[in-house]
Amino acid sequence: MSAITHEQSLEQFHEQLAYVLANYHSHGKSISNYSNVVIGGLGGSGIGGRIARLAFLQQSPVPVEEFSEYGLPAYADEKTLVILCSYSGNTEETLSMFAQSKSKGCDMICVAAAGKLKDLAAEHGLAYYSVALGFQPRMTLGFGLGTLVMIMGELLGGDSTALLQEVEHMFLHSSAIIEKAQVMYEAFKPTIANKFVVVCDLPYEAVAIRFCQQIQENAKGEAFVSVLPEANHNMIESYYGKHDTNFLFLNSGTNARVNARFDFLHGVLSNLGNVIYQYPVDDASIKTQFEVIHATDWVSVWASNDKGVNNMQVDIIMQLKGHLEGLK
């Protein structure tokens, strides 16, 4: 296991963005050459793709999808750009997507620290971006998402350097983010062992998934995502009493009708005595999403410490990998 603790990863998070800025090189590709883009990855290496997809949703003239699977969609072909991300470079699902991408004639970009994916990128002369070694995969979002922001920005005919520099600067002076994290954590501390439900709008869906992943892996707790407005057509009917749940609200504030739905749901839950915390955001910019991710990452680490669990180890995941290896 990595010797770099989660606390160290968060305290030095700006260094990941500095690494991306120092090591990024042009891929020379244009969105006009593709009919669709597929970003593939799992877990800590896949969540960056989910966030990037939503961040560029209103800018991309072609569909951008994220897949955390063994295979590609049927529509993938020689007009598809596949961007594969794997920190270890050995994630079996991602390597399976690589093989399918080659067989379908897709163009590819690879992001990895080491392993087979890095070797395959070199073997086939593909665009490749490096990631520094020594981290827990789930704590490398700065590398992965930062690289994807640069890749997508260039792909769409722009340059995301100034944006990433702004985010890096924010993390060089991150005390305000940590203060927000502490306020959020204090709201949940008395019930920290309860499950979490993150209620969000579409722009924050991937950020919400990220927090749930961190609660699951770091704090060994249950966590789920509920997206508005869809959840108002089903989930809301389960709230006729108090639940053993910590509710986190993430709302970009970009849709007045969705805002009204958040207000209504907050009233229903609070009147029943439920534990609710609404993170103070009013946009869905990349910079703000990085802030929310950082704050919620801290909450997951503090929750693991309060619960007395080892946030550096993922024993059941490792058992699963051993089980799958034995089936080969």
Q: Which two tokens stand for residue 274?
A: 């439920």
Candidates 225, 176, 216, 187; CA nearest to 297 is: 216
Per-residue pLDDT reduced to its tens digit, 43-77: 989 999 999 999 999 999 999 999 999 999 999 99
> Is residue 2 over pLDDT 80?
no
Alpha-carbon span 232 to 237, nearest angstrom: 8
Q: What is the pLDDT of residues 164-196, one digit of tens each?
A: 999 999 999 999 999 999 999 999 999 999 999
Kindly report the pTM of this predicted structure: 0.95
Give one DSSP letter per residue of 229-250, joined into a string: TGGGGTGGGG-SS--SEEEEEE
Of the pLDDT bands very low, low, confident and very high (cuts 50, 70, 90), residue 247 is: very high
Which pLDDT does position 26 carry in this prediction? Answer: 97
Q: Provide the mean pLDDT of the chain.
A: 96
pLDDT value at 277 more than 80: yes
The residues, any chain, with a CB within 8 Å of residue 10's CB and separated by 6 or more, are: 139, 294, 297, 298, 301
Summarised one tens digit per residue, pLDDT across range 145-160 is: 999 999 999 999 999 9
Find the mean pLDDT for residues 7-33.
97
Rounded to whole angstroms, how far apart are CA atoms 86 and 108?
A: 14
φ, ψ of residue 73 to 5 degrees: the values are -65, 155
Flag whether pLDDT at 1 surpasses 90.
no
Distances (CA, A) of 224 to 129, 205, 245: 32, 11, 10
User: Using 50, 70 and 90 to split pLDDT, how confident is the model at 276?
Assistant: very high
What would the mean pLDDT of 264-268 be, rounded to a whole number? 98
Helix axes 286-307, 161-172, angle to 10 degrees: 40
- Average pLDDT of the segment spanning 127-144: 93
In the three-class reduction of DSSP (H, G, I as helix; E, B as strand; rest coil), residue 268 is classed as helix
DSSP one-letter string for 78-138: TTEEEEEEESSS--HHHHHHHHHHHHHT-EEEEEESSHHHHHHHHHTT-EEEE--SSS-GG
Q: What is the pLDDT of residue 328?
A: 74
pLDDT of residue 325: 86
> Which tokens is 7 given?
């606390």
**pLDDT > 70 in the chain, percent:** 99
pLDDT at 52: 96
- pLDDT value at 236 more than 70: yes
Give residue 316's pLDDT: 93
The mean pLDDT value for 213-230 works out to 97
Tokens standing for residue 203: 């722009």
- Spatial distance between the Cα atoms of 242 and 239, rounded to a whole number of angstroms: 7
Under 8 Å between Cβ of 3 and 136 = no
pLDDT tens digits for range 87-132: 999 999 999 999 999 999 999 999 999 999 999 999 999 999 999 9
